[in-house]
Copies of this chain bind each other. A is one copy, B any other.
Amino acid sequence: MIEPDLTASETDAGTRKVPTQLRARATVDAILQAAESIVTHKGYEYATTNYIAKVAGVSIGTVYQYFPKKEAIIRALIESTIINSCAKMREQLLADLHKPLAHAMPLHVALRLKMHRAHSLVLLRLPKNITKLSTAHEQLTPETFLYTTIHAFFNHHREEIMVENLETAILVCEYLVVGAISRYLQDGSQKITEEEFIEQVSAATVRYLTSSSNPHAKPVTRDQKIIAKS
């Protein structure tokens, strides 16, 4: 197991509870890491409780001391992965708030791709594929967690965006970006480099946002389009 008193020196005069809690925390982390590792590298069907315990280096009894049922392990895994990933994405979104869309978007797509690559199965597949989990996880999605920040980000670029309804724009961008990343990751065939993928998807998203939403109605856009088309 992981060293139980790594930080014991700092609270040596503290209660006995501290090392206890540290040890427990380490155990929980080991279990969650084992679960993620198995799900990612071998597939959800291999994530049996006994195997998770084995990989985590603890006994099955210990697993059940911290998680009442297998479902709870997966739930916790999804939760912590989403929270961690979203924290990073939120950070970046805020950092890039003042950059123009065309600069910020590729950075955002790149980070999201990185996040999804690292936790692809957890972020994309587990929540919706395990029927038992679905109900409880309807709001536990990266989208929900990021919504406020994304909204702020889009709002900050409101003038660049030609789509009338901002809500629709946000939603469709989410569908496009996350959907494309998801397909890209699932599609093992290396027909396109990561850099190009990021560039193309960002470009598509930015164009979607910055062109007028109705290409047949708005004169300004129409002109652009006519030019492009001619």
Residues of A within 8 A of B (CB): 42-46, 102, 125, 128-132, 138, 143, 160, 162-163, 167-168, 171-172, 174-176, 178-184, 186-189, 191-192, 196-197, 200-201, 203-208, 210-213, 215-216, 219, 221-222, 225, 227-230
Contacts and interface: CB of A to CB of B under 8 A. Distances in A.
A45 B130 contact: yes
Given A131-B43, A186-B128, A204-B204, A229 B160 contact: yes
A171 B180 CA distance: 10
Contacts of A45: 130-132
A68 to B, nearest CB: 14
How many copies of this chain are found per oligomer? 4
Given A131-B45, A204-B207, A172 B191 contact: no
A43 to B, nearest CB: 3
Contacts of A184: 175, 179
Residues of A contacting B: mostly: helix
A174 to B, nearest CB: 7
Contacts of A188: 138
B215 A228 contact: no
Nearest to A144: B189
Nearest to A127: B186
A203 B213 contact: yes
Contacts of A200: 163, 168, 172, 208
A206 B228 CA distance: 12
B183 A210 contact: no
A210 B222 contact: no
